[in-house]
Amino acid sequence: MIISLAGLNRPQRQAAETVEGPVLILAGAGSGKTRTITYRMAHMVANLKINPKQILAVTFTNKAAKEMRERVSALLGSSKGRGLTISTFHALCVRILKREIQNLGYHQKFNIYDTGDQLAIIREALNKYTSEKDGGFERKTIQSKISFLKNRGISPTEYPTTPYYDPESPYDQAIEHCYHYYQEKMRFYNAIDFDDILFLTIELFRKHPHLAKHYSEKYNYIMIDEYQDTNGLQFELVTHLTCLHKNLCVVGDDDQAIYGFRGADVSNILNFEQNYPNCKVIKLEENYRSTNSILQLANKVIAQNTKRKDKTLFSQKNTDDRPVVWACGSTEHEAESVVEDILQFWSTDGGHLSEVAILYRSKTQVAAFEEQLRLSQIPYKIIGGQKLYEKKEVKDIMAYLSFLNNPKDELALRRIINIPHRGIGNATLEKYLALKTKDNTDLYQAFKNNPSVDPKRAGDIQTFTKLVEEMQHEFNSRSLPEALGQLIEKINYFSFIDQEYKDAPKQAEKKKVDVNMFMQLAERFVQYHKQNATLNYFVEKIILQDSQDDEEHSDLDDDLKKNEVTLMTLHSAKGLEFDRVYFVGAEEEILPHKKSMAEGTDLNEELRLCYVGITRAREKLVLTYCKERKLYGKNVRRNKSRFLHNLEEGLFDEKDRTVFGHLSPEEAESYKKKFFQGLIEDL
DNA sequence: AGTCGCTAGTTTTTT
DNA sequence: ACTAGCGACT
């Protein structure tokens, strides 16, 4: 089978055909980036007969990886695409660590800690460090500073020698202490955090260059998506993976770099040409998404950033319909105007709600829109809510699974030891923690070896260790969902929920639904992964949120068919597109956000966020702002965003929406009627 | 162990 | 205006 590249434009085709050596693809918004790289991969496999096992494509999110996988298999037919590695940075590194982490002194069945787990260890570290509660330090600040250091490849020992450390600063001293304590505990618990996933892989490659060579040889062709979002660790990782060859193709858009706040470093893409001399640079500037009037606005907005690679998007789609900016009187006006407009669009223009998005800078804005949508009974979905595994009750069960996977995971053990209540409270726990230190063992062994330190508790402790042993046996001998069901039954978890929420039965029911959903997830996991569906693998995939089908990554087709308005932040909108976009809160102190306006900070990231929002729209773009907004209980005057203020005339129309609602009640009613009729016809 | 009242803070998020 | 988190109390 031959894959034809005739459907690609010239630069796209050049990008797909340039397979050897370093390539930088600067892909503007809507320029067919994913199409180009999926064709590139298909071309390599089908036309150039490159073994798929030699090809590695790396993305940031599981969603992006999944989409790429699906699109390549659609081109190649699923059998030929087999063997390709398409993975997130984290999933790739976990895979490497699962094979090699013994080289760094960890055991193979390590657990992965999330932010909550990190904070628990930092709390302990601060307890040891100061006598008063947290000593006036903020755990979150310390956690993010540790993450900041790890993302720059700095170990606890190195920290005091770096410019990030001020010996005069009590805060830095506390951070140094916590970082040491933290790393030591993590090692003892045989646990690693999200940053370690990358950090340790690099350490592995630094200490064992033959391993770097091994993986570089294995992956002879490497592609990195959203390269503008890579951080220092990811850069170094890529350097190791390309130590034997320079077949590296990176794709990105410096204008869409919006993750600086979590360590992404735009200079990775800006300096690519210096870092990889002789690289080929290909610009994709033809936009297939938006009308020219939307692109003109986008081009002028982003041109306000002077530190960027120059490019200008153009499109063949012409229209008289210019973007429009609405000045609203209040958040209520803003929400009502948007919702009425959606209603009108839906009922008179026959538009589909899945093609409508409301985009906002911050989650605090969403409530007003949610309320109006509910009042008008328009179906909607909010992207970016709490994930299933972040819910407390799911985390309880996960703690059991983590502990069974890795009995050295003391944090997990401490979480489950008294869930459900089995009379092992803080006092007892302290005794065993002391014993653990004295006998130089781990907490679980301390429980097992000395069940009757307090004769009153001996029965409880033996019941617990017996349960653990039974469950270890269950998970070894039965299928994952069966063993999980046994576990939930044995610990009487549903009764525990009833007990915990005896005054709020509705909440209790919700929690039970969540636990049931988690059990179903385990079922689907086994159906998908078959004999590979071990406890160890399950725990890993849940933490990395890489289950093949949870709510968020459910069937793409199903999602598209859903007649629902999408609400999400500008950040989560990156990579997506909609016919009709309401970009709300385009006002000072929201965009640019007040918090981003601290002195000396660069507002360009906020500007790029504005650009990302504008370029999501295919046909119709509405930007709104409020002249007055209720904030922390007070009404405050507000102005249109500076990003829209300083532009030349004629890029957008302006409408005054300060009068409450623009439809008469009769008009609104008639739209609503038409709307419901449509709904019924849909069914 | 559970409830009460005070204080401080209220951007973005993936893995 | 609202709430999360914490210390103090029962």
In this complex, the answer to whether residue A326 has its CB under 7 A from any atom of chain B, a nucleic strand, is: no
In this complex, the answer to whether residue A90 has its CB under 7 A from any atom of chain B, a nucleic strand, is: yes
**pLDDT, position A554:** 47
Which position has the higher pLDDT, A507 or A545?
Answer: A545
User: Which nucleotide has its C1' atom closest to residue A572's CA?
Assistant: B13
Q: How far is the CA of A14 from the C1' of B9 (A)?
A: 52
Neighbours of A664 (CB within 10 A): 9
In this complex, the answer to whether residue A151 has its CB under 7 A from any atom of chain B, a nucleic strand, is: no
A461/A425 Cα distance (integer angstroms): 11
> What tens digit of pLDDT does each residue of A630-646 get?
888 788 899 999 999 88
A292/A306 Cα distance (integer angstroms): 22
Q: How far is the CA of A237 from the C1' of C9 (A)?
A: 54
Q: Which residues contact A583 (CB under 8 A, 6 or more apart)?
A: A359, A570, A613, A614, A617, A621, A622, A623, A624
Cis peptide before A420 (omega within 30 of 0): yes
In terms of DSSP bridges, do strands A248-252 and A565-569 run parallel, antiparallel, or are they unpaired?
unpaired
Q: How far is the CA of A635 from the C1' of B2 (A)?
A: 38
**pLDDT, position A548:** 63
Q: List active site positions of A.
A: 33-34, 225-226, 256, 616
Mean pLDDT value of segment A25-54: 95
Q: What are phi and psi of A314, to 5 degrees?
A: -140, 160
Please choose, from the candidates A290, A217, A161, A297, the residue with its C-alpha nearest in 3D space to the C-alpha of residue A647.
A297
**pLDDT, position A551:** 47
User: Which nucleotide has its C1' atom closest to residue A596's CA?
Assistant: B11
In this complex, the answer to whether residue A571 has its CB under 7 A from any atom of chain B, a nucleic strand, is: yes
Chain C: positions less than 7 Å from a protein CB are 1, 6-7
In this complex, the answer to whether residue A95 has its CB under 7 A from any atom of chain B, a nucleic strand, is: no
Q: Which two tokens stand for residue A643?
A: 């990003």
In this complex, the answer to whether residue A376 has its CB under 7 A from any atom of chain B, a nucleic strand, is: no
Q: Which residue's C-alpha is at the least distance from the C1' of C2?
A: A632
Please choose, from the candidates A21, A169, A187, A182, the residue with its C-alpha nearest in 3D space to the C-alpha of residue A115.
A182
Mean pLDDT value of segment A510-521: 88
Please choose, from the candidates A424, A450, A423, the residue with its C-alpha nearest in 3D space to the C-alpha of residue A435.
A450
Q: Which of residues 98-127 of A have CB within 7 Å of strand B?
A: 114-115
Which position has the higher pLDDT, A350 or A565?
Answer: A565
Q: How far is the CA of A508 from the C1' of B3 (A)?
A: 20
A128: confidence class by pLDDT, cuts 50, 70, 90 = confident
Chain B: positions less than 7 Å from a protein CB are 1, 3, 9-15
Query: What's this model's pTM, rounded to 2 decimal places?
Result: 0.89
Question: CB less than 7 Å from strand C: which protein residues?
Answer: A 133-134, 139, 632-633
Cβ–Cβ under 8 Å, residues A604 and A394: no
Calculate the average pLDDT of chain A.
88
DSSP string, A162-182: STT--TT-HHHHHHHHHHHHH
User: Which nucleotide has its C1' atom closest to residue A132's CA?
Assistant: C7
- Return the percentage of chain A with pLDDT > 90, whole number: 59
User: Which nucleotide has its C1' atom closest to residue A630's CA?
Assistant: C1
**pLDDT, position A610:** 96
Q: How far is the CA of A30 from the C1' of B8 (A)?
A: 43
Cβ–Cβ under 8 Å, residues A415 and A409: no
Mean pLDDT value of segment A10-23: 96
Q: Which residue's C-alpha is at the least distance from the C1' of B10?
A: A632
A628/A639 Cα distance (integer angstroms): 8
**pLDDT, position A425:** 80
- Asked whether the predicted pLDDT for residue A260 surpasses 50, the reply is yes
Please choose, from the candidates A294, A267, A297, A272, the residue with its C-alpha nearest in 3D space to the C-alpha of residue A282.
A272
User: Which nucleotide has its C1' atom closest to residue A194's CA?
Assistant: B15
**pLDDT, position A555:** 44
Which residue type sits at A396?
Answer: D
Q: How far is the CA of A501 from the C1' of B2 (A)?
A: 13
User: Which nucleotide has its C1' atom closest to residue A634's CA?
Assistant: C1
Q: How far is the CA of A133 from the C1' of C7 (A)?
A: 10
Neighbours of A328 (CB within 10 A): 28
User: Which nucleotide has its C1' atom closest to residue A632's CA?
Assistant: C1
Q: How far is the CA of A226 from the C1' of B14 (A)?
A: 13
In this complex, the answer to whether residue A140 has its CB under 7 A from any atom of chain B, a nucleic strand, is: no
Q: Is the dihedral of CA A360, A361, A365, A370 positive or negative?
A: positive
In order of A101, A191, A222, the CA distances from A406 in angstroms are 15, 9, 33
In this complex, the answer to whether residue A630 has its CB under 7 A from any atom of chain B, a nucleic strand, is: no
3-state secondary structure of A139: helix
A479/A519 Cα distance (integer angstroms): 12
Which residue stretches of A194-262 are H helix?
A: 194-207, 209-218, 232-241
**Lowest-confidence pick of A129-133, A140-144, A478-482:** A129-133
A665: confidence class by pLDDT, cuts 50, 70, 90 = low
Cβ–Cβ under 8 Å, residues A192 and A200: yes
Q: How far is the CA of A484 from the C1' of C7 (A)?
A: 38
Q: Which residue's C-alpha is at the least distance from the C1' of B15?
A: A544
DSSP state for residue A244 in the 8-state scheme: S
User: Which nucleotide has its C1' atom closest to residue A633's CA?
Assistant: C1
**pLDDT, position A683:** 43
- Asked whether the predicted pLDDT for residue A243 surpasses 80, the reply is yes
How many CA atoms does the CB half-sphere of A74 hold within 13 Å?
A: 9
A552: confidence class by pLDDT, cuts 50, 70, 90 = very low
In order of A30, A96, A101, A173, the CA distances from A33 in angstroms are 7, 28, 35, 46
In this complex, the answer to whether residue A361 has its CB under 7 A from any atom of chain B, a nucleic strand, is: yes
In this complex, the answer to whether residue A594 has its CB under 7 A from any atom of chain B, a nucleic strand, is: yes
In this complex, the answer to whether residue A563 has its CB under 7 A from any atom of chain B, a nucleic strand, is: no
Q: How far is the CA of A390 from the C1' of B3 (A)?
A: 26
Cβ–Cβ under 8 Å, residues A254 and A270: yes
> What tens digit of pLDDT does each residue of A67-115 get?
899 999 999 987 777 899 999 999 999 999 999 999 999 999 999 998 8
DSSP state for residue A417 in the 8-state scheme: T
